[in-house]
Amino acid sequence: MIKISILYPSNPSARFDMGYYIDTHMPLSIGLLSAHTGFKGVSVERGLGGAMPGTDAAYIAMCHLLFNSAEDFMAAFMPHAEVLQGDMPNYTDIEPVIQISEVLISE
């Protein structure tokens, strides 16, 4: 199984509309991507703080998509890339960090 992590770095001058992201963008994303049989799940997290008390979180938000394989992710995402990426200006001006990982342990 693979995980696609979409990480939005914290920045005091950045704009990130969590309400729009949760209520509009993610339902759109889930609706489009979950139609592919390789889609296994999604989680979204809000950064609350850093390792030390009172420090800022490294990321404002993180989205993790689970697919059977990288090929399944690409097959699900590419037909909808323009729509999903085109919606980004509606909730953020942050350039996300994207990482594709192999899940080795998950319980």
Answer whether residue 107 is part of any domain. Answer: no
Q: Return d(Cα 74, Cα 17) in angstroms, integer.
A: 26
Q: Return d(Cα 14, Cα 98) in angstroms, integer.
A: 18
Q: Indicate the pTM of the whole model.
A: 0.94
pLDDT in tens, 42-74: 999 999 999 999 999 999 999 999 999 999 999
- Which phi-psi region, left, alpha or beta, contains residue 97 (left: φ > 0; alpha: ψ -120 to 50)? beta
Answer whether residue 13 is part of any domain. Answer: yes
Answer whether residue 59 is part of any domain. Answer: yes
Segments forming the whole domain that contains residue 79: 2-102
Share of the chain above pLDDT 70, in %: 100
Domain total in the chain: 1
Answer whether residue 66 is part of any domain. Answer: yes
Q: Return d(Cα 51, Cα 25) in angstroms, integer.
A: 29
Where residue 67 sits, what CATH number does that domain have?
Answer: 3.30.70.100
- The residue among 39, 22, 14, 25 whose CA lies nearest residue 92 is 14
